[in-house]
């Protein structure tokens, strides 16, 4: 850290995580559901991801099951006319509250059927980002190239800037899926970037929380279950059951085979350098005078003191 603001932010961040850990150990959990994106939040989702693998439930380790390329996959699911059918379990009317203009969406799909079919037929059960890059380069992409495209895909979905779409990785997506680019920009023009991100996040939450988690809970009512955006966490012994429920529900409701990534939350896994860089970059951004002032309300003496005590004892 280069200055006092950055050091304060880092200590606040560490202290906040330490306080959440203490709360979990004391069985004092917080939880709720966001009114904007409908995602579930809790003590478990709020702690740093390198801490999460240390959590045990009844002394049992946890596993996470993620939907691969979840936002491109969720986009594909709402580009089908059945999503606008109120008789379906997975439909627009269950998540449209507070977002105006959605009633116009079906008209933007008309005349784009071939492009939509091409996009929906992508092998999402494999790796969306590698598929796009292989078409562009004619070879297997590097890890860095894949991660870069993954980041740029979020701009493809939520950043309505025509000039940006002409450059580098964004242009790969525009060239390969021009109909989808046209549909997205129409969506963004109608409801804006913020509400469109809420729409995809709410669609994801409808599938993950209201349908998949509910079905798993009905089958295994006593088993632990936590959601983290597009990811569901449970104990290792229920890995196969949860994977089966997730795959069957997603395939049935979207008519697209999903890719699922199953990972054991293992505290012995090495810390990825990219994670450290990501955290440092985030702190540096927040340390600017204007942003630091805006978030000063969240910087608590308790967090700073907790960090100082932790460093002194370790």
Q: pLDDT tens per residue, the chain (314 residues)?
A: 889 999 999 999 999 999 999 999 998 989 999 999 999 999 988 998 889 999 999 899 999 999 999 999 999 999 998 999 888 999 999 999 999 899 899 999 999 999 999 999 999 999 999 999 999 999 999 988 998 999 999 999 999 888 888 888 889 999 999 999 999 999 999 999 999 999 999 999 999 999 999 999 999 999 999 999 899 999 999 999 999 999 999 999 999 999 999 999 999 988 888 888 888 999 999 999 999 999 899 999 999 999 999 999 98
Query: Cα(63)–Cα(76) distance, rounded to whole angstroms?
Result: 27
Residue with tokens 């979207």: 254
Distances (CA, A) of 309 to 18, 54, 279, 291, 306: 11, 21, 22, 27, 5
Query: Do residues 128 and 217 both lie within one domain?
Result: yes
Query: Do residues 103 and 150 both lie within one domain?
Result: yes
For residue 199, the model assigns a pLDDT of: 95
For residue 299, the model assigns a pLDDT of: 93
Which residue among 224, 242, 264 closes a domain? 264
Query: Do residues 302 and 154 both lie within one domain?
Result: no
- What range does the domain containing 135 cover? 56-264
Query: Do residues 33 and 145 both lie within one domain?
Result: no
Residue with tokens 């907790």: 306
Query: Do residues 86 and 204 both lie within one domain?
Result: yes
What is the reported pTM?
Answer: 0.90
Please give the tally of structural domains in the chain: 2
Query: Do residues 204 and 285 both lie within one domain?
Result: no
Query: Do residues 213 and 244 both lie within one domain?
Result: yes
Query: Do residues 45 and 62 both lie within one domain?
Result: no
Query: Do residues 77 and 104 both lie within one domain?
Result: yes
Query: Do residues 15 and 77 both lie within one domain?
Result: no
Query: Cα(162)–Cα(152) distance, rounded to whole angstroms?
Result: 14
Query: Do residues 249 and 104 both lie within one domain?
Result: yes
For residue 200, the model assigns a pLDDT of: 96
Query: Do residues 193 and 278 both lie within one domain?
Result: no
């Amino acid at each position: 850290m280069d200055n006092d603001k950055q050091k304060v932010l880092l200590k606040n961040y560490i202290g906040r995580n330490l306080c959440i850990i203490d709360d979990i150990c004391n069985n004092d959990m917080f939880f709720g559901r966001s009114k904007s994106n409908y995602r579930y939040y809790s003590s478990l989702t709020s702690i740093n991801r390198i801490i999460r693998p240390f959590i045990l439930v009844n002394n049992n380790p946890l596993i996470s099951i993620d939907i691969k390329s979840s936002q491109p996959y969720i986009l594909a699911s709402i580009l089908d006319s059945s999503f606008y059918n109120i008789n379906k379990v997975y439909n627009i009317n269950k998540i449209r509250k507070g977002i105006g203009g959605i009633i116009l969406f079906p008209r933007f799909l008309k005349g784009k059927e071939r492009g939509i079919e091409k996009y929906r037929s992508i092998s999402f059960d494999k790796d969306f980002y590698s598929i796009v890059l292989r078409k562009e380069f004619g070879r297997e992409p590097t890890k860095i190239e894949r991660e870069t495209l993954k980041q740029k895909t979020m701009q493809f979905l939520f950043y309505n800037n025509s000039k940006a779409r002409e450059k580098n990785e964004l242009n790969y997506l525009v060239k390969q899926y021009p109909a989808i680019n046209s549909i997205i920009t129409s969506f963004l023009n109608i409801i804006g970037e913020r509400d469109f991100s809420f729409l995809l996040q709410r669609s994801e939450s409808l599938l993950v929380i209201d349908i998949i988690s509910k079905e798993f809970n009905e089958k295994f009512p006593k088993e632990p279950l936590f959601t983290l955006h597009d990811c569901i966490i449970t104990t290792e012994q229920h890995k196969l059951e949860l994977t089966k429920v997730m795959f069957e529900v997603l395939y049935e409701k979207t008519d697209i085979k999903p890719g699922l990534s199953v990972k054991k939350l293992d505290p012995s896994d090495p810390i990825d350098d990219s994670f450290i860089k990501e955290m440092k970059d985030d702190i540096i951004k927040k340390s600017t005078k204007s942003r630091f002032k805006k978030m000063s309300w969240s910087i608590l003496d308790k967090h700073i003191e907790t960090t100082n005590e932790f460093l002194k004892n370790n």
